[in-house]
Amino acid sequence: MEKKTIKIDTLRRKEEARLVAGMYEGDRRAQSELYAYCSDYFWDNYRGVFFADEESAKKIFQTAFITLWEKIEQRKIYASEGYVMGKNNKPLNGSILTYFMAVARLKNLELSRDKSDCVDLESELAQHDKQQYADMLYDSEENTMLDIIADIISQMSERCREILSKFYYEEKDLDTILSEVSTIDSKDALKTKKHKCMESLRKSAKDIYNRYLNS
């Protein structure tokens, strides 16, 4: 699976740092520019990421941008010497757009949970898996974990790779996935396999991330 990190050149990196610094300092022009910068990218790419209707996408964008703003105000995201800095006072791995879209993914998961009208065992299990996934994704202020997860999924068995990609990236429900995965013949079997794949992903991701933190 292709990594989600957006590569960034020097000029763009410095421009992003300028916008973040301006945002922190209350510069209205910089605030408007950063809003437009995130907005343009979000609306160009959201359909392939969230599969949400336009009204839901608007809510996802607004809450994600507010979260980004709060992170900047709290100096969890800040500019220093032409870099946008994140966790452990280290530069972000890629563009701030990568970080913003990661936040938007989390907000989308939260929105999906809030929209659930009824709670049964299946939806509870699905939500538990999604929360585990969200916890892994956003454990890092930068996108180290996001990259680790993408790498692990790309190296898993073809069946796990297909199931997790459809469930978490494409956000398809189990019935839809079952109709698309010819090698699984029942919903119960699909649920069992998904949980096993998720547990394997969670363990591998945490082990790799812990080694990364201690390196």
Give me the mean pLDDT over the 151-160 stretch.
85
70: tokens are 């709060």
| pLDDT tens by residue, 87-109 | 788 888 778 888 888 888 888 77
Domains present along the chain, CATH in parentheses: 1-115 (no CATH), 118-215 (1.10.10)
Is residue 209 classed exposed, middle or buried when 0-12, 13-18 and 19+ CB atoms within 10 A define those classes? middle
pTM here is 0.54
**What does the DSSP assignment read for 153-215?**
HHHS-HHHHHHHIIIIIS---HHHHHHH-TT---HHHHHHHHHHHHHHHHHHHHHHHHHHHH-
Give CA–CA dist 85/102, Å, rounded. Answer: 16
- Whether the pLDDT of residue 125 is over 50: the answer is no
Confidence of residue 33 (pLDDT cuts 50, 70, 90): very high
Return d(Cα 156, Cα 105) in angstroms, integer. 22
CA quadruple 51, 153, 132, 104: dihedral sign: negative
